[in-house]
A and B are shown apart, each in its own frame.
Chain A
Amino acid sequence: MTMPARVVGEEKVKIKKSFVKPWMGIKYLFKKPVTIKIPFEKIEPAPKYRGFHTLDWKKCVGCNFCGQICPARAIEMTWLEVDGKMEKRPHPKVDYGRCTFCQFCVDVCPTGALGFTEAYYLSTGGSEEDLELFNWVPIHPDKVRELNEKFGDYRFPVEKIEKKADGTYVYHLRDGSTIEFKILGYGIRPPKKPTPTKPTAKTAEKKETKPAEKKENVKQAEKKEGA
């Protein structure tokens, strides 16, 4: 089955050292450089590059397969309220502070609601409001594609995520339009029915325990003490 090992020794492997040959590298002076001049030149990622997620909210059935396969547990099922109406199923919320872009979640999605685009670029400052951008419910693929075609630089489609005190999130997209919804609660099971106060209180509570925010508070307190 196996081929006899073909072993070659010194006669083929050895080479002679040379004083002259290294100077031949000079010929590269007259060749075209390989450099991509980034601000002026662009290179596109390959088609089907594993970038940010998209989600068709209508198709998503909230089965939490994506949350189960995620190696980083970056996906959290979220109950949303759009225009005063609660969505029937929870939707995944992806945290890019965790995500490894393996897209196993896309592979296991039974309805094909979760998808991905080639957009790969997201950078923010280190403060808490900025890092809010890293945690989002993906938006419709058509919208992302449209934005990508419009700007063509594969950036994150959302420019700013505004969080209000009552759990309302406003996504300011790059073309100026906004998406507004309310997060009622987390988990697979729906939040408790007598809604008006409880879920919001829950989310608020949840948010309070968020680490960086706590840190911010501490920092502010420190500053006050210092002043």
Chain B
Amino acid sequence: MANLEVPKELREEARKHDMYLTPISKDTYELFFGPQHMATENFSIILKMDGNRIERAIVNPGFLHRGFEKLAEQRPYFTNIALILRICVPESDVPENIYSMAVDEIMGWEVPERAIWIRTTVLEMARLSAWMFWIMGFGNEIGLYTAGQWAAAYRERLMRLFEELTGGRVYHIYTVPGGVRRDIPGDRWLRQLRDTVEYIKSKLKDFDEILFDNYIMFERTEGVGVMDKRFALKHAVTGPNLRAVGVPYDVRKDDPYYLYPELDFEVPVLKEGDSLARVLVRRYEIEQDLYILEQLLDMGPPSGPYMVQDPKLKNLPRFKVPAGDAYAHVESTKGDFGVYMVSNGTHKPYRVHFRGPSQSHGVTVLEELLKGARLADVPVILKTLDNCPPDIDR
């Protein structure tokens, strides 16, 4: 592809329209990647290409901007739950949970143990389903479609469990400040969850065979999109991407919340910092998530109420929160997901500001990593960074 030849007439035509192919040197042109591309998911990158090499990448987000932070300022606290979970679509429990954690902190509530157990389980289930979604996307990008077919089918089992627990399929609207909205539907649900965990665990071997051990995957990812430790820290890279450059930072260990201090799990760390390392770290984390879910099921849900008892909750539309501010964050599959909330004592939050992991992964880091990469590596870099455009836009 190095000597890409653009027909002369087309070049003349394009010059007339002054864009699309801007001939700087012989093979230099501008390429619009997305938003109508499967890998980018509503996100556009303007690539300045030199032949097949990317000279410069300019990220153009904003296709999903809905102004959540403004809308959240205009709605009561509980109502916001139905709104802000749309920030992270594959893992919609994460925004719910951080929002609830922040409100709990300002209110000074002790959330009941049963609610804590349910929240932890829901978060881990959300992580697992997000991993399945990621396997699907990643498999499709590197051309191993079979893994994607399987992952999407296994994810449906988790979706079904979510449906029975929360009443929603994708948007659960389940975790609210002070607890959760419904109780566990019964022991049958717990048994089903255990079955599903066992099932996915047994299928992990198949994923290894077809995707993670596959030499195609190694060839596509090895040495692509390398970053070093200093770069990663300066660019606020978090989550599996940071662990792939040798920093063992995991919010669940370093700023523990919910039941995580009592759970036993490992933090995988690799030093290479290329796409392959990021993939392998993720693969190991899937195992750990299954292990955590098993531990949670062994622990069993403690008895008691699933919602905090507070007379203020009698009138939900006018539920007031005292003045104050709080920052809460959890470990999502994409990285450190946080929220900064300011309350001024009324029934609406004064300011809610979200910190999506893709805000750093998807803009500056991506622009840096794409410099000098080949065009065919763009989807690989996008998917191994696990870029999620709604995080950036909100």
Contacts and interface: CB of A to CB of B under 8 A. Distances in A.
Contact of B213 (A9, A12, A15): A15
B122 interface: no
A104 B210 CA distance: 44
Contact of A13 (B209, B215, B280): B280
A25 B206 contact: yes
A95 to B, nearest CB: 15
Given A6-B265, A49-B163, A71-B79, 19 more contacts: A8-B284, A9-B271, A10-B271, A12-B268, A13-B284, A14-B280, A17-B218, A21-B210, A22-B209, A22-B213, A48-B167, A48-B185, A71-B83, A101-B168, A102-B171, A102-B173, A103-B167, A104-B79, A108-B317
Interface stretch (A62-70, A125-133, A139-147): A62-70
B76 A22 contact: no
B281 interface: yes
Nearest to B247: A7
18 contacts: A3-B264, A5-B250, A7-B269, A8-B266, A13-B283, A14-B270, A14-B280, A17-B215, A28-B150, A34-B153, A47-B164, A49-B167, A49-B168, A50-B173, A69-B317, A71-B75, A100-B173, A104-B79
B192 to A, nearest CB: 11
Contacts of A46: 160, 163-164, 167
Contact of A104 (B182, B216, B270, B316): B316
B212 A15 contact: yes
B254 A10 contact: no
A45 interface: yes
Contacts of A65: 316-317
Interface in B154-198: 156, 160, 163-164, 167-168, 171, 173, 181-182, 185
A68 B210 CA distance: 52
Contacts of B182: 48
A19 interface: yes
A166 B250 CA distance: 64
List the 8 shortest-distance A-B pairs measured between CB atoms, nearest first: A102-B82, A68-B317, A46-B163, A17-B218, A50-B167, A46-B164, A7-B248, A21-B209
A121 to B, nearest CB: 13
B173 A2 contact: no
| Contact-size category for B | 35 or more
A107 interface: yes
Contacts of B271: 9-10
A16 interface: yes
Contacts of A18: 209, 213-215
Contacts of A5: 248, 250, 253-254, 267
Contacts of B208: 15, 21
A165 interface: no
A24 interface: yes
B261 interface: yes
Contacts of A10: 270-271
A107 B316 contact: yes
Nearest to B75: A71
A2 B82 contact: no
Contact of A22 (B78, B214, B248): B214
Given A14-B280, A104-B316, A69 B268 contact: no
A46 B168 CA distance: 9
B146 interface: yes
B129 interface: no
Nearest to B153: A34
A225 B248 CA distance: 70
A226 B270 CA distance: 68
Most buried by A among B153, B167, B209, B281: B167
B223 interface: no
B218 A50 contact: no
A9 B209 contact: no
A227 interface: no
A74 to B, nearest CB: 11
A1 interface: yes
Contacts of A8: 266-269, 284
Contacts of B217: 17
A224 B254 CA distance: 70
A130 to B, nearest CB: 25
A19 B218 CA distance: 11
